[in-house]
C-alpha cells in the first residue's frame, strides 16, 4: 500500500495539569513538520483498558448494563475494565474483570483486537478479547462504585442491539461487528 512522508511532531515543552487516579492530563507545546507550533496540545494519560466478548457453553453472550455519567445514559455493554498495575497481562485483566463483574470464568480465550480509544487525545490502548465456553463459577464482586446488571443474550438479540445502534460505545461496537462479519451472521 502506498505510504507517504507524514512525520511525527516535536515536543518542545510538556507539563502535567492533573495527576489524579482517574484523570491525568498533560499540556504539550509541539512543533509540526511544517514549522507551525501548537502552544497547548492536551493529552490524556490512562492505563490500558480491556473488554470481552464472552460466550457461555449454552451459546449466550454476556452483556452488562450500567449508568455512564459522561454520556448520561444506561446502555447494554460488553464487560470491560482497566489493566491494574498488579495484573500480569491484559489477558489476566480481562479474566479478572469478567469474573468480578459477572461471576463467569474458565473458557477458551483469544486476543481479538487492539484498539485506540482516541489516538489524538489518549495515550492508552484497549485490548479486546473473545472467550468461548465460559461458565458461572462465582458470584458478582462489585466495588462500591459499580452498579451493574448481567444479561445473557442470544446471538439474535446481539444482532438486534447492533442493528438498532444500541451498542453506543465504539470500543465495543468494533469487536462485535468484527465478530458478526467473521462469522457471517448477517
Asked if 12 is part of the footprint of a copy of itself (rule: CB under 8 A), the reply reads no
Interface with a copy of itself, residue 91, by CB under 8 A: no
C-beta closer to a copy of itself: residue 74 or 108 = 74
CA distance 29 to 14: 6
* One residue of 47, 90, 144, 155 binding a copy of itself per CB under 8 A: 144
Torsion of CA 156, 139, 82, 130, to 10 degrees: -40
CA distance 164 to 161: 5
Which of the ranges 13-21, 52-60, 88-96, 129-137 carries the binding residues for a copy of itself, by CB under 8 A?
13-21
| 127 close to 50: Cβ distance less than 8 angstroms | yes
Query: Under the criterion CB under 8 A, does residue 170 sit at the interface with a copy of itself?
Result: yes
CB of 137 to a copy of itself, least distance (A): 22
Contact 38, 30 (CB under 8 A): yes
State which of positions 107-136 bind a copy of itself (CB under 8 A): 113-123, 125-126
- DSSP, residue by residue, 120-135: TTB---EEEEEEEEEE
Q: How far apart are CA 118 and CA 131, in angstroms?
A: 25
- Residue 77: CB minimum distance to a copy of itself, A: 8
Site for a copy of itself (CB under 8 A): which residue of 32, 57, 108, 110?
Answer: 32
Amino acid at each position: 500500500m502506498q505510504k507517504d512522508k507524514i512525520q511525527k511532531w516535536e515536543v518542545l515543552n510538556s507539563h502535567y495539569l492533573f495527576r489524579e487516579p482517574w484523570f491525568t492530563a498533560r499540556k504539550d507545546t509541539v512543533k509540526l513538520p511544517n514549522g507551525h507550533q501548537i502552544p497547548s496540545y492536551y493529552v490524556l494519560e490512562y492505563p490500558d483498558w480491556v473488554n470481552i466478548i464472552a460466550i457461555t457453553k449454552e451459546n449466550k453472550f454476556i452483556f452488562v448494563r450500567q449508568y455512564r455519567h459522561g454520556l448520561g445514559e444506561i446502555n447494554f455493554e460488553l464487560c470491560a475494565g482497566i489493566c491494574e498495575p498488579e495484573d500480569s497481562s491484559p489477558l489476566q485483566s480481562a479474566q479478572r474483570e469478567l469474573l468480578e463483574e459477572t461471576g463467569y470464568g474458565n473458557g477458551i480465550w483469544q486476543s481479538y483486537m487492539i484498539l485506540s480509544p482516541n489516538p489524538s487525545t489518549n495515550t492508552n490502548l484497549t485490548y479486546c478479547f473473545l472467550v468461548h465456553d465460559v461458565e458461572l463459577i462465582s458470584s458478582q464482586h462489585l466495588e462500591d462504585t459499580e452498579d451493574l446488571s448481567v444479561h445473557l443474550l442470544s446471538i439474535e438479540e446481539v444482532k438486534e442491539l447492533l442493528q438498532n445502534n444500541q451498542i453506543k460505545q465504539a470500543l465495543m461496537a468494533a469487536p462485535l461487528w468484527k465478530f458478526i462479519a467473521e462469522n457471517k451472521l448477517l
